[in-house]
Amino acid sequence: MIDAIMLAGQVTDKMYEKEPGLLDKFGEQGKKKCREDNHHHFKHLRSTYELDNSKFFTDYAVWLNGILVRHGMETRHLIENFDLISEVLQSPQYSGDKEALAYLGYLSGACEILRSKHNESKEVPTR
C-alpha cells in the first residue's frame, strides 16, 4: 500500500530541492502547507483508485487548478507538482505495484487535460 504521508514529504522535499528559493519566499510554514497539499493529492489518488474512476482525479485537478490560478498560481505549477509525484512513484520500490501504476495513469491523464486547458487559454482569438 502507498504511504501517502511519506510520499507527500518526499515530493515536497524534491520540490524545494528543485527551487530552493521557495523556502526563502514562503518559509517553513509554506513548506508545511505544500506537504499538506501533496497529501491531499495522494488522498484523491487513493479515492480514484478505490472508485476505479479516473475522471474523479481529472475533475479534482481541473477544479484545483481553477482555485490555484485565481490565487496567482500558474497551471504549470500544478503540472510540475504532479510530475514530481509521478517521479517518486517510478522509484524501484514501486516497480510493478498495481496501485502506483494506476496513480501514474491518473496523473498522466490529469496533466494532459491541464496542458490542453493551459494551451487553450494562451491562444489569441483570430478575427
Write down the pLDDT at residue 72. 85
Burial of 75 from C-beta contacts in 10 A (0-12 / 13-18 / 19+): buried
Longest Cα separation, the chain: 54
- C-alpha span between 38 and 47 (Å, rounded): 14
Predicted model pTM: 0.89
- In contact, 111 and 87? CB cutoff 8 Å: no
Write down the pLDDT at residue 127. 44
Cα angle: 61, vertex 111, 104; to 5 degrees: 95
Write down the pLDDT at residue 113. 97
- C-alpha span between 64 and 23 (Å, rounded): 23
Write down the pLDDT at residue 117. 81
**pLDDT (tens place) for every residue of the chain, 127 residues total:** 799 999 999 999 999 999 888 889 889 998 999 999 999 999 999 999 999 999 999 999 999 999 999 988 899 999 999 999 999 999 999 999 999 999 999 999 999 999 998 776 664 444 4
Q: Which of 44, 88, 94 is nearest to 64 (CA)?
A: 44
Write down the pLDDT at residue 122. 61
- In contact, 49 and 103? CB cutoff 8 Å: yes
Write down the pLDDT at residue 22. 85
Residue 45's SS3 state is: helix
